[in-house]
Structure 1
Amino acid sequence: MHQISHVSTQATRSFREDINGLRALAVICVVLFHYKFAAFDGGFIGVDIFFVISGFLMTQIVISRINESRFSVWEFYKARTMRIVPALLFLCFVLLFLGFFLVDPIRLERMSKEVIESNLFISNIVLWREVGYFDSRAEEKWLLHTWSLGVEWQFYILFPVCILALTKLVRSKSWLLAVMLVVLALSFLLCLLFQNKYQQATFYLLPTRAWEFLFGGCVAVMGCNRGSRLAGYWGTFVGLVAILVSMVIVNRLTLWPSLPTLLPVLGTCAVIWANDDRASWAANPVMRLIGLWSYSIYIWHWPFFVGWSYLELPLSFALPAFGVFFAGGAVLVTLAQRVLAERADILFHQRGLRFASIVVAWIAITGLAANMLFLRGVESRYPLGPERVEALRQSTEDWGFPRSCFGLKPDGETKACGIGLSNPGRPIVFLGDSHASLWYNRFATDKVDDMAPPIKFLVAAGCPPLVGMLRAEQPSRCQGFLETALHEVEKSHARRLILSAFWTTYLRFGGTDMPCFVAGAKCRSAADPDEFRQQVDHVIDSTADRLLSIRKNGTDIVIVLPVPSHDLNIPIVLAMREFYGFDTRDLVGISRAAFDERALLSRGVLKDLARRVGATILDPADYLCDLQSCATADKDGIPTYIDSNHIRASIIKKPKFDFLDRLVAP
């Protein structure tokens, strides 16, 4: 095995206070971000810090052992397994054990699936495939955060093999560094090329994340500062400033990973390179302790938050409660380690036996999760019986519209779907977000009437059909869709254009999914209600101009006002409350007064838009609500909603929704 000459292997075994401090800083950022502290809206950069640290340490370990002629890929995998897997398995076991007693079957079934995905280290791939407006909210995913462990593990699998192969071809640090920089550049270029069209893939997958690990790896190959206190001080100072600045200027509107990701990545590299042996900023007891426990804090903080949200406890107390919970757990683990350490050393004195025990535990816990998944969350535990659970589960899955029909194709064309699209005549077009796709279920039949007009659906999940407005959390996902769709409406000389969307979430300041407003190449959120209303007025002006140009083709325009919506995911929360015997009365109906207040601005804005362009208004609330409430369940108490705001496909086919038929009438 060839050595890589002149590659520094310093500090591969010694404890580095500065790297431990970076771990502490990273996990603090992530936890405060997940626990919704406004000042840490950019706290997700903590994951990028972890990636750089991993790249640095893994490169040091691999190259140092290659130089010492004692590197084994198998031993590397075993070491990573023993470092990462035991804590993850313990977490998964605790979740499944407590879940059996404390979590309803629907959520336990989902938890079991997530445990299997996490134990296989494929959470990132599954999230990439599943992610979308219809996927369960982040607060409902117990192991959402393990996507980063998936990326790291995939890096661990490939990286040592690639380095080992390179050592057969190159013997100098310069050549190794050159090859790593080329791969780094290709990964970063791929990230920049895919960040708009394939944002979810760019976020979750290794090929567009590898460059972050490789930056850390390049620092390891080049070698760190060797004792210059001035260089150590300034390197640390510049690096920490870069990390802190990035945390301030980055937020959930920032496309990520992207060019701005260089700031925390290079900042982390600078701190690592500085190799400050004093690292006073990280050497205090609190930072040292948080750094040492950073992995455990990371893997436990999110399931605790999900459990807290699941029980509908006040979010303002979630962080203090987690602090008490984790501190108590850490004390118990420390005491247990001291008591059992000697016996464990006797029992597992051989490294191979320790590894075998981990493998057995992995098989057992993954098998337990698979069994719970097979039993559909152990439905027999549900107090109202398995049939009730199945009815609630079907409510969450009763969609109907093809999921392959959302947004744009890679070539920029719409993924248009519909009924009778090959029929002659001018089409009737439904345009909007997922709410527009709801009405597909009213008109979709097994036998298409050849004489009926074609009905086309142009929809992009989570994208408001208003000119100059995008979804704040993922603006790039909506970019280009509306203009492409409107151009298609014009080109087809549509007979009727029907606009429908989750208006109350876009046209209400302070909502859960506030939009951003296009300003040149950027999309900015409003800072206060007054600015929000000004921006909305500008958007309505732009939308009115665009619709008036479409009307010149003889296209009728219909605007569907907001569908009654709840604040809670109705079937999911109903399952939890029934499991515990809690009050469910507020879930079987939406207060008409509360809904009218929530929809006040959106209704006024949309009616004004309709007046300006000569559009017809259709208000679902007139048919779905009485003076007191809007029903969200049928006479048997089965939810009529998929979640908080999407009506079930099977419900829309019922006579109660006959009012929709006028939308496709001549």
Structure 2
Amino acid sequence: MRFRGDINGLRAIAVIAVVLFHFGVAGTQGGYVGVDVFFVISGFLMTAIIYSRLEKNAFSAIEFYKDRARRIIPALAFLCLCLLVVGWVLLLPKDYAELSEHVLGSLGFVSNLMYWKEAGYFEQASHDNWLLHTWSLSVEWQFYLAYPLLILILQRVMPLRRTRWVLAGVALASLALSVYASSRWPTSAFFLLPTRMWEMLAGGLVFLFPFAASRHGSRWLELGGIALIALSVLAFTANSVWPGWLALVPVVGTMMVIYSARHESLLTGNRASQFLGKISYSVYLWHWPFAVWIYYFGVEREPVWVIAGMAASVLCGWLSYVYIESIAQVERGPSVTRPKPRPLVRIGGSMLAVGALASVTMASQGYPNRLSEEFRNATAELVLPRKSNGWCFYNVETNPDNEIGEDGLACHLGARDGKLDALLFGDSFAGHYGPFWDDLGRENGLRINAVSSNWCYPSVTDDFTGYTSGPGYEQCLINRSFLEDEIGRYDLVIYAGQWGAVYDKDQMAGVVRAIELAAQRTGLVVLMAAPTNYDISVKDMYERSLMFGRQFDITRFEKTRDDPVRAANEQLKAIADRYPNVMYFSRESMFHVAGVPSDVTAENVPFGLDQSGHISIYGSRKAAEAFRESNAYREFIERTRHPALLARARPD
């Protein structure tokens, strides 16, 4: 089809919006709509290619797929190769292995399905994902695979000109699904083709239902369309329900601009717009890794680095266009050229080579031996305490050595010859307090049995925060049965759990009943607060700082996930106040430096680990040290030495 300069300029608007948004430029919080603009443009162009060739009896689905491969794969494969090379120097083993997995997902055009299962697009943790932006390429590729086949099938049962009505119906159905799913399953609606397809079909409908506006009318049509896109960029935020009804604003705006067909427009036809539009695909590919890069080094709030990152995105995008994309690209300017088959062989070969490199990297778990021995020693205890590394968390979900059954009911901490028998009970959050209680138990004569497994928070109901179809649920039922049967033989019962998840799922009633049971049958009950829950893995951020000799600053990171955790902790404190033999260990008593609440130790090492709020072996031990300095510790020691409690203790 004839080259459309106005559409090329529209690409520039789209990529500018996305780049400004991803680099956090103020006022562009809705810049993610640039992807929606790209979707509409893509739908228009693909529909024009398919229908124009079908009308001439010259359409071949195979040739169509080859054209798309030449357009998309070379620059994408080259970016993936560069990231794998740079990752060898920059990334921690876990991150490097994850990058390799994402490379495979991107080259296989299923990355949207991978990210659908991982962190949401707008979450802070998404800044760790170097190829997150390829989700849109996967959606487009899936559309490219299905779209011509659908049209060919429709053409067999009806005249070609009538197929547009079916496509209009499919677009409306997809829009309705998008509206419904966006409020119920927002991550699915964002990443998956069925709820995004209508945007590309909207572009197709512009071609299938054409109309010619007057010269004056086309000018206002273009201005109105660009105004809707600009309004979307300025008004929408990461909290907007997306896609859904709101996505109609940039989508309709893009349709208006394409309908206006203003080839000589000052807004889209100027040299800057044409230049950026021409290299927009490569700029889109390169901009996100640079945005992740400055976040990786903790300089995302420094304007000079933001500007440098955006400039580097354009420069690398231009180089990629000139030396990679243009060589294999089917369409170049107003003319259309047909490359010989040999470039397709090179494209397939490069894709397989990069995929093989990624597979080897993933299999090697990111080459952990790349790191110095000093670094490995400094971070050795920044892991979750679990059975496999000498502690008590009985992980039956991912560790095949931990079989479901009574083996998970006995794991001893503290003083083996202690005077008081204690039970530490809960999920992985009870498990991560293992070093804490081992330390205090040895010092204060506590024989502690730790019973903790996946998602098995203290409760006497069948409620569960994990998957009830998995082994974790089976083990939890065994654990809770043990709790009800054996709780009376313990002098001290300690409850810990991922209280925020319990609170979110409205399952606190079972916790209350478990506390009542313990208060009635044992001498002393301790409720442990859940630690601060950050939106990212603070351990990963600390290790990156350590790796590159940068000062670690935990205040950089958001903790919106902590809201339900704090609410649950407050509820536990209120429950503890109802009973004379129930104590509540607050965060402030365990996580502080010289009495000042802190999420890092005096050495500026985080107590915490991951996005769930777990603490490490190191953090658990340091929490025990900090706890000794608190009033809560002194009260706890007094209570454990109370004659009434000691009278319960059985002699050896």
Using structure 2 for the length normalisation, give the TM-score.
Answer: 0.69
Give unmatched runs, 5+ long, in structure 1: 1-12, 406-415, 432-440, 466-480, 498-556
> For residues 570 and 444 of structure 1, do their structure 2 counterparts lie closer, same or farther at Cα, with a shift above 3 Å needed?
farther
Q: For residue 449 of structure 1, what is the aligned residue in structure 2? A: 483
- Please, which of 264, 282, 287 is the counterpart of residue 296 of structure 1? 282
- Please, which of 237, 248, 252 is the counterpart of residue 262 of structure 1? 248
Equivalences for residues 61-76 of structure 1 within 5 A? 61-76=49-64
CA-to-partner distance for each residue in 1:185-210, whole Å, 9 max, x for gaps?
21111112222221111111001111
> For residues 110 and 646 of structure 1, do their structure 2 counterparts lie closer, same or farther at Cα, with a shift above 3 Å needed?
same
- Please, which of 181, 186, 192 is the counterpart of residue 168 of structure 2? 181
> For residues 197 and 283 of structure 1, do their structure 2 counterparts lie closer, same or farther at Cα, with a shift above 3 Å needed?
same
CA-to-partner distance for each residue in 1:640-662, whole Å, 9 max, x for gaps?
532378233767998949999x9
Q: Per-residue deviation at 1:566?
A: 8.0
Q: Per-residue deviation at 1:224?
A: 4.6
> For residues 612 and 279 of structure 1, do their structure 2 counterparts lie closer, same or farther at Cα, with a shift above 3 Å needed?
farther
Q: For residue 22 of structure 2, what is the aligned residue in structure 1? A: 34
Percent identical across equivalent pairs? 28
Native 8 Å contact 2:384 2:609 kept in 1: yes
> For residues 43 and 203 of structure 1, do their structure 2 counterparts lie closer, same or farther at Cα, with a shift above 3 Å needed?
same
Determine whether 1:243 maps to 2:232.
no
Q: Per-residue deviation at 1:43?
A: 0.9
CA-to-partner distance for each residue in 1:181-239, whole Å, 9 max, x for gaps?
211121111112222221111111001111111111111111252x6312311221221
Higher mean displacement: 386-395 or 159-168:
386-395
- Please, which of 339, 346, 349 is the counterpart of residue 357 of structure 1? 346
Q: Secondary structure at the match of 1:38?
A: coil
Q: Per-residue deviation at 1:419?
A: 5.6
Distance 1:420 1:628 in 2: 29
Distance 1:355 1:396 in 2: 51
Distance 1:267 1:293 in 2: 22
> For residues 220 and 388 of structure 1, do their structure 2 counterparts lie closer, same or farther at Cα, with a shift above 3 Å needed?
farther
Native 8 Å contact 2:592 2:601 kept in 1: no
> For residues 257 and 374 of structure 1, do their structure 2 counterparts lie closer, same or farther at Cα, with a shift above 3 Å needed?
same
- Please, which of 193, 201, 219 is the counterpart of residue 180 of structure 2? 193
> For residues 385 and 324 of structure 1, do their structure 2 counterparts lie closer, same or farther at Cα, with a shift above 3 Å needed?
same
Q: For residue 221 of structure 1, what is the aligned residue in structure 2? A: 208
Higher mean displacement: 246-255 or 86-95:
246-255
Q: For residue 287 of structure 1, what is the aligned residue in structure 2? A: 273
Distance 1:337 1:145 in 2: 19
Equivalences for residues 470-485 of structure 1 within 5 A? 485=506
CA-to-partner distance for each residue in 1:331-364, whole Å, 9 max, x for gaps?
65577589999xxx9xx99521111100000000
> For residues 172 and 325 of structure 1, do their structure 2 counterparts lie closer, same or farther at Cα, with a shift above 3 Å needed?
closer
Native 8 Å contact 2:75 2:320 kept in 1: no
Q: Per-residue deviation at 1:269?
A: 0.8
Q: Per-residue deviation at 1:621?
A: 2.5
> For residues 218 and 393 of structure 1, do their structure 2 counterparts lie closer, same or farther at Cα, with a shift above 3 Å needed?
farther
Q: Per-residue deviation at 1:319?
A: 3.0
Native 8 Å contact 1:203 1:256 kept in 2: yes
Q: For residue 571 of structure 1, what is the aligned residue in structure 2? A: 539
> For residues 386 and 110 of structure 1, do their structure 2 counterparts lie closer, same or farther at Cα, with a shift above 3 Å needed?
farther
Distance 2:321 2:591 in 1: 58
- Please, which of 43, 47, 66 is the counterpart of residue 78 of structure 1? 66
Q: For residue 619 of structure 1, what is the aligned residue in structure 2? A: 586
Q: Per-residue deviation at 1:277?
A: 2.6
Native 8 Å contact 2:182 2:244 kept in 1: yes
> For residues 163 and 305 of structure 1, do their structure 2 counterparts lie closer, same or farther at Cα, with a shift above 3 Å needed?
same
Native 8 Å contact 1:430 1:457 kept in 2: no
Distance 1:113 1:640 in 2: 29
Question: What is the letter of the counterpart of residue 376 of structure 1?
Answer: Q
Native 8 Å contact 1:243 1:264 kept in 2: yes
- Please, which of 103, 115, 118 is the counterpart of residue 130 of structure 1? 118
> For residues 86 and 340 of structure 1, do their structure 2 counterparts lie closer, same or farther at Cα, with a shift above 3 Å needed?
closer
Q: For residue 445 of structure 2, what is the aligned residue in structure 1? A: none
Question: What is the letter of the counterpart of residue 375 of structure 1?
Answer: S
Q: Per-residue deviation at 1:570?
A: 3.7
Equivalences for residues 299-378 of structure 1 within 5 A? 299-315=285-301, 316-329=303-316, 332=319, 351-378=340-367
Using structure 1 for the length normalisation, give the TM-score.
Answer: 0.67
Native 8 Å contact 2:74 2:325 kept in 1: no
> For residues 45 and 171 of structure 1, do their structure 2 counterparts lie closer, same or farther at Cα, with a shift above 3 Å needed?
same
Q: Per-residue deviation at 1:131?
A: 2.9
Distance 1:338 1:155 in 2: 21
Q: Per-residue deviation at 1:285?
A: 1.4
Q: Per-residue deviation at 1:322?
A: 2.2
Q: Considering only CA atoms, is the larger Rg found in Structure 1 or Structure 2?
A: 2
Q: Per-residue deviation at 1:623?
A: 2.9
Native 8 Å contact 1:184 1:210 kept in 2: yes
Question: What is the letter of the counterpart of residue 369 of structure 1?
Answer: A
Distance 1:430 1:571 in 2: 27
Question: What is the letter of the counterpart of residue 572 of structure 1?
Answer: D
Native 8 Å contact 1:566 1:644 kept in 2: yes
Question: What is the letter of the counterpart of residue 374 of structure 1?
Answer: A
Q: For residue 532 of structure 1, what is the aligned residue in structure 2? A: none
> For residues 24 and 328 of structure 1, do their structure 2 counterparts lie closer, same or farther at Cα, with a shift above 3 Å needed?
closer
Give unmatched runs, 5+ long, in structure 2: 399-426, 428-453, 466-474, 488-492, 517-524, 637-644
Q: Secondary structure at the match of 2:142?
A: helix
> For residues 337 and 559 of structure 1, do their structure 2 counterparts lie closer, same or farther at Cα, with a shift above 3 Å needed?
closer
Query: Cα RMSD between the aligned structures?
Result: 5.0
Q: Secondary structure at the match of 1:253?
A: coil
Determine whether 1:233 maps to 2:222.
no
> For residues 648 and 611 of structure 1, do their structure 2 counterparts lie closer, same or farther at Cα, with a shift above 3 Å needed?
closer
Determine whether 1:20 maps to 2:8.
yes
> For residues 429 and 245 of structure 1, do their structure 2 counterparts lie closer, same or farther at Cα, with a shift above 3 Å needed?
same
